């Protein structure tokens, strides 16, 4: 092994186990991550949360995502926990050589650079797999191979192309979803591909190239509406213009201006809702006799319920709806979720030491494994924090003067 990369696998596994009482499913799997923004980092974070050792390669000065303003300010903290960080200048011969040596010690490589860049740098799958046939190589792209494959894509771009924006906004006003749904799900599908490829490698001894793409991901999200058209021949209307299958399935404004979503998706639930609202007489009207009849006069019903609900205090009504088994939901802002009692009680929101030494909350993966949530095992890394661990013979950043 090249002396530029000295690494003790057993020691690192022990180090991680200090923070985790039980061995995680991907312990012993090593991942090198050439990613930025959301999609690639999400894939790496999922693998890291499941126990893989993920080494994030950052450019000199650190990943630019660390210092994004505005809506991007939370990207790095949200999607880069449980990772180690090394800084390499892969635009230089020395930096690329160090990167290749690092790859040789890894099971999985993640990247989400623009099309053609990794090939230009000699870090593409074809080049690396020739020497390392067990390598699993994951490319996070805008598009899978085809006419669009060389286009640059953003979550916004594929939401417009993939039917999601059309279905989300009012007619004639396509609307981007309020979070990076395709970037995050693209990273999830990349991680799913890694898990399958690791399983296949156990039997074949060989790795493979995996591609996860934003556009195809978004089309998958819209597939139910595509099937709807294929089955009916009718173009599905945007969600705000939809003809609801249920008579009561909407957002209502209660006392004090607070809003509540309420859904009554069966005749039994409608009767129960009317009792909770202390207006059982509504159930006696012929036009409200069953769901189909109520859907036919839905605007009138919603107006009538709206008047009734304006007189209800949401703090008093919510527990009554819950006790009666009526689906409901307050309209929450993301900042309010930091104090959500369920998130706190279920262990889904935990403190993490971040790169400036302070502590901030982080949202864990939405799953239980053996009755526990995969948690935070290490502080968020500083840029290049682990260079000395992997490049002990180098006095600074390999490839940088």
Task: Map residue 33 onto helix, strand or coil.
Answer: strand
Tell me which DSSP letter residue 351 carries. Answer: E
Spatial distance between the Cα atoms of 89 and 300, rounded to a whole number of angstroms: 65
- CB–CB of 172/240 below 8 Å? no
DSSP-assigned states of every residue in 244-275: -SSSEEEEEE-GGG-EEEEEE-SHHHHHHHHH
Spatial distance between the Cα atoms of 272 and 156, rounded to a whole number of angstroms: 42
- CB–CB of 262/321 below 8 Å? yes
- CB–CB of 318/263 below 8 Å? no
- CB–CB of 57/88 below 8 Å? yes
Spatial distance between the Cα atoms of 328 and 50, rounded to a whole number of angstroms: 33
Task: Map residue 57 onto helix, strand or coil.
Answer: strand
Contacts of 388 (CB under 8 A, 6+ apart): none
Task: Map residue 292 onto helix, strand or coil.
Answer: helix
Other residues' Cβ atoms within 10 Å of the Cβ of residue 187? 29
Task: Map residue 343 onto helix, strand or coil.
Answer: helix
* CB-facing half-sphere around the CA of 132: CA atoms within 13 A: 19
What is the gyration radius of the CA atoms in the chain, in angstroms?
A: 26
Q: Does 250 qualify as catalytic in the annotation?
A: no
Spatial distance between the Cα atoms of 397 and 401, rounded to a whole number of angstroms: 8
Q: E strands along 164-304, which residues?
A: 209-213, 248-253, 259-264
Among the listed residues 183, 202, 313, 355, the single catalytic one is: 183
Spatial distance between the Cα atoms of 334 and 338, rounded to a whole number of angstroms: 7
- Report the catalytic residues: 183
């Amino acid at each position: 092994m090249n002396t530029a990369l000295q690494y003790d696998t057993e020691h690192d596994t022990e180090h991680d186990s200090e923070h985790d009482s039980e061995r995680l499913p991907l312990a012993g799997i090593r991942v090198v991550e050439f990613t930025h923004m959301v999609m690639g980092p999400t894939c790496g974070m999922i693998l890291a949360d499941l126990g893989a050792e993920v080494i994030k390669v950052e450019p000199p000065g650190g990943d630019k995502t660390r210092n994004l303003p505005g809506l991007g300010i939370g990207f790095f903290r949200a999607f880069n926990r449980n990772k180690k960080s090394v800084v390499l200048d892969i635009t230089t011969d020395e930096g690329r050589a160090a990167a290749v040596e690092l790859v040789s010690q890894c099971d999985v490589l993640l990247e989400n650079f623009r099309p053609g860049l990794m090939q230009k740098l000699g870090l593409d799958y074809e080049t690396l797999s020739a020497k390392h046939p067990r390598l699993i190589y994951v490319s996070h792209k805008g598009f899978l191979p085809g006419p669009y494959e060389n286009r640059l894509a953003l979550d916004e771009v594929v939401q417009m192309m993939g039917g999601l924006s059309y279905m989300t906004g009012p007619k004639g006003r396509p609307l981007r979803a309020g979070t990076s749904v395709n970037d995050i799900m693209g990273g999830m599908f990349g991680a799913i591909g890694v898990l399958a490829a690791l399983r296949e490698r156990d039997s074949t001894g060989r790795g493979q190239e995996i591609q996860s793409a934003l556009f195809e991901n978004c089309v998958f999200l819209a597939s139910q509406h595509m099937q709807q058209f294929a089955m009916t021949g009718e173009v599905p209307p945007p969600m705000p213009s939809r003809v609801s299958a249920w008579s009561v399935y909407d957002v209502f404004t209660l006392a004090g201006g607070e809003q509540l979503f309420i859904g009554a998706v069966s005749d039994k639930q409608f009767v129960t809702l009317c009792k909770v609202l202390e207006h059982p007489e509504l159930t006696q009207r012929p036009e409200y006799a069953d769901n189909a009849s109520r859907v036919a006069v839905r605007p009138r019903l919603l107006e009538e319920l709206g008047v009734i609900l304006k007189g209800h205090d949401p703090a008093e009504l919510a527990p009554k709806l819950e006790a009666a088994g009526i689906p409901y939901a307050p309209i929450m802002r993301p900042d309010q979720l930091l104090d959500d009692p369920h998130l706190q009680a279920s262990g889904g929101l935990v403190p993490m030491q971040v790169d400036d030494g302070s502590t901030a909350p982080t949202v864990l993966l939405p799953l239980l494994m053996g009755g526990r949530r995969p948690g935070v095992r290490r502080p968020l890394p500083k840029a290049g924090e682990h260079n000395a661990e992997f490049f002990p013979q180098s006095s600074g950043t390999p490839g940088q003067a």
